[in-house]
Structure 1
Amino acid sequence: MTDDAVPAVPDLRASDADRERVADVLRDALAEGRLDMAEFEERLEATYRARTYGELTPITRDLPAGGVVPPVISLRKEAAADGSRAARIVGGEGSSTWAVAVLSGFQRRGSWTLPRRFTCLALLGGGELDLREANFAAGEVVINCWAVMGGVNIIVPPGVGVDVRGIGVMGGFDAGEAGGAGDPGAPRVVVTGFAFWGGVGVERKPTREERRRAKLERREAREEERRERRELRRAREEERRERRELHGGDPHAGPHGRREERRGHLEH
């Protein structure tokens, strides 16, 4: 471990995937008789209520499976001024270092750790690397792609930098709008390799948490719009009620109590 890397602080925010792993450990403990139903329900409620590693870790401390282990975090990244998630996902050991698809496909997604260098081969096949919920073993990681009559698609979250340096022969490497330096303190993904009659593409998509937040914001906006419409209807009803009371029950009555004639109608 380097001098600038220490175990994660307890108040580091936990992910939905971390909470689900703890919940799986609790379910196994219930099935094995290590917990009774009351203890299981109490701990499960605490699991879904937890927001940090410090709150999650004690829940499974006395069980054989440890639930979650806080990742190793780079203090340089933790000190990023913007405090974004992209600045806090650097650290840990790589979950795997390669993937191969020959007349088939591969996929890496969910909670995993991208090592400093990852190699993938797509021969008459295809693969997908989804980095939206991933950790990064270093501030800069290299994905070496070989696509021969096949393709590789790489999905990165907002904020992460992307640098594409691959070579294509009757094929290509394309970062589209995903290319760029990324946010300050965020990790950077360097995509290299060779594409022959194939392609390697990089696209940027929001994380599950960002999609959930956007959905919640849209829902709140719709609720606010409904409240405004209800208030408008209520105000109109109140106005009509006051006019009826003022003019003897006729909401169309004029200032002298008579029903006002429509504009343009001849008076008799």
Structure 2
Amino acid sequence: MQPSPEDPSRPVSEDDRDRAVRRIQDAYAEGHIPHEEMDGHVHQVLTVRTHGDLAAAMASLPAEKPATTSTIGAAGGRIRRRGAWRVPRVLKVESAFGKVRLDLSRAVFEHSVVDIELQLGSGGAKITVPRGAIVDIEGLRTVWKDPRFEPSRHSVPGAPTIRISGTMEYGRLRIRHARR
């Protein structure tokens, strides 16, 4: 018999551990726990075996912020975001025809990890990310042209992780790091 998702005896996966460590890091970054406690929490999360044990290890942390999702869509035409705009935890971008321009270089990030899901028909996309941001494009499927992206050689403490996924039919994704 398969254990249910709510079963406390269900084994903890690596993804569960990664999410828990990110939550601990966020609590530390927001000043809710001191460095010494953070180390103890991380050690505990890395050694637990079941979801019940994981829940007990996370019980003293503040409640997790709810994930926010926004969708930007256009049947045709241009989609553009730039300047100091608030980036949600999950951003869905949908366009049948037209260009997409997302400039995240001066955007406000409330989450350490942001997921951008692209569903694009034809037309290219250009995404400018903050200096030192970590970009993951493993979840992106392209039909016509491969993305153009050169990972940053310099990491910047506190820079976000941006995961780009979805499907691009006819067009190319260009990702670049902001110069400053």
Q: TM-score range by the shorter chain?
A: 0.5 to 0.7
Provide the C-alpha distance between the structure 2 equivalents of 1:164 and 1:112, rounded to a whole number of angstroms. 22
**Structure 1 residue 160: Cα displacement:** 1.3
Structure number with the higher strand fraction is 2
Q: Map of 1:65-214 to 2, 5 A cutoff?
A: 74-75=30-31, 97-165=70-138, 166-175=140-149, 177-178=150-151, 182-207=155-180
Q: Is 1:101–1:127's contact at 8 Å kept on the other side of the alignment? A: no
Q: Map of 1:179-258 to 2, 5 A cutoff?
A: 182-207=155-180
Residues 29-85 of structure 1: CA deviation (Å, up to 9, x unaligned): xxxxxxxxxxxxxxxxxxxxxxxxxxxxxxxxxxxxxxxxxxxx7349xx9xxxxxx
Provide the C-alpha distance between the structure 2 equivalents of 1:198 and 1:127, rounded to a whole number of angstroms. 10
**SS at 1:183 equivalent:** coil
Provide the C-alpha distance between the structure 1 equivalents of 2:109 and 2:67, rounded to a whole number of angstroms. 8
Residues 141-164 of structure 1: CA deviation (Å, up to 9, x unaligned): 110111211122110121111111
Relative contact order: is structure 1 or structure 2 higher (C-alpha 8 Å, sep ≥ 6)? Answer: 2
Q: Is 2:104–2:129's contact at 8 Å kept on the other side of the alignment? A: yes
Provide the C-alpha distance between the structure 2 equivalents of 1:150 and 1:5, rounded to a whole number of angstroms. 40
Percent identical pairs in the alignment equals 26
Total equivalences in the alignment: 125
Provide the C-alpha distance between the structure 2 equivalents of 1:180 and 1:143, rounded to a whole number of angstroms. 22
Residues 150-195 of structure 1: CA deviation (Å, up to 9, x unaligned): 12211012111111121111233332x2457833432111111111
Letter in 2 for 1:172: D
Q: Is 1:106–1:127's contact at 8 Å kept on the other side of the alignment? A: yes
**Structure 1 residue 104: Cα displacement:** 0.2
Provide the C-alpha distance between the structure 1 equivalents of 2:69 and 2:85, rounded to a whole number of angstroms. 9
**Structure 1 residue 93: Cα displacement:** 9.1
Structure number with the higher helix fraction is 1
Residues 95-149 of structure 1: CA deviation (Å, up to 9, x unaligned): 9712123220011111111111101022210111101111112111110111211
Assess, with a 3 A threshold, how the Cα gap between structure 1 residues 117 and 179 changes in structure 2: closer, same or farther. Answer: farther
- Structure 2 unmatched runs, 5+: 1-22, 36-64
Q: Is 1:123–1:148's contact at 8 Å kept on the other side of the alignment? A: yes
**TM-score (structure 1 length as normaliser):** 0.40
Assess, with a 3 A threshold, how the Cα gap between structure 1 residues 190 and 180 changes in structure 2: closer, same or farther. Answer: farther
Decide which structure has the larger Cα Rg and report it.
1
Q: Is 2:68–2:90's contact at 8 Å kept on the other side of the alignment? A: no
Letter in 2 for 1:115: P
Question: What CA RMSD, in Å, does the superposition of the two structures yield over aligned residues?
Answer: 3.0
